[in-house]
Amino acid sequence: MEECVFCKIIEGKIEAYKIFEDDKVICILDKKPISKGHCLIIPKKHFNDIFDIDEDDLKQIIADTKKVANLLKTKLNAKGINLLHASDKVAQQSVFHFHIHIVPRYEDDGLDTWPKSNYKEKSFNDILSTLLD
């Protein structure tokens, strides 16, 4: 992945503020943070998105997300955490190397990370029958 910015960070070709690393995963501070300690947890191996990531790598990322969340809680006094992820352009993915945003939350931080929508479900039963068919 010649032009992938996260692969370049993992290869050490681009500098990043690394706060956690193990054999499969790195976690770096987001360069445009939306809260104190906002970071990105990234598999070292290139996967585009949730659809092609290896299950073992995903398990490691989730386990490491908990470690980073605890780090943010204990060291930065975060009170809560939002996990944000996008897979595919339609979901507003901007870097096409799988990653999860870990957003520490603080009392009265003014953030609203929950999407707003006017969508109303017409039939939950239709969805159920389609998904479970």
Candidates 18, 36, 45, 46; binder of Zn ion (CB under 5 A) is 46
Asked if 16 and 33 touch (Cβ cutoff 8 Å), the reply is no
Region of 22-30, 61-69, 82-90, 97-105 interacting with Zn ion (CB under 5 A): 97-105
Calpha distance 44→126 (Å, rounded): 40
- In the complex with Zn ion, the residue whose CB is nearer, 6 or 19, is 6
Q: Does position 24 bind Zn ion by CB under 5 A?
A: no
Q: Binding pattern to Zn ion, positions 54-83, x when CB under 5 A? A: ------------------------------
Pairing of strands 100-105, 25-29: unpaired
What is the enclosing helix (H) or strand (E) of 98?
Answer: none
Shortest Å, Cβ 87 to Zn ion: 14
- In the complex with Zn ion, the residue whose CB is nearer, 3 or 133, is 3
Residue 60 exposure: Cα atoms within 13 Å on the Cβ side:
17
Tokens of residue 49, six digits:
């998105």
Beta sheet of 80-84, edge-to-edge order: 18-21, 25-29, 39-43, 100-105, 80-84
Residue 99 known to be catalytic: yes
- Please identify the residue of the shown chain whose CB is closest to the bound Zn ion: 4
Task: Tell me the site size for Zn ion, rule CB under 5 A.
Answer: 6
User: Residue numbers of the site for Zn ion (CB under 5 A)?
Assistant: 1, 4, 6-7, 46, 97
Enzyme catalytic residues: 99
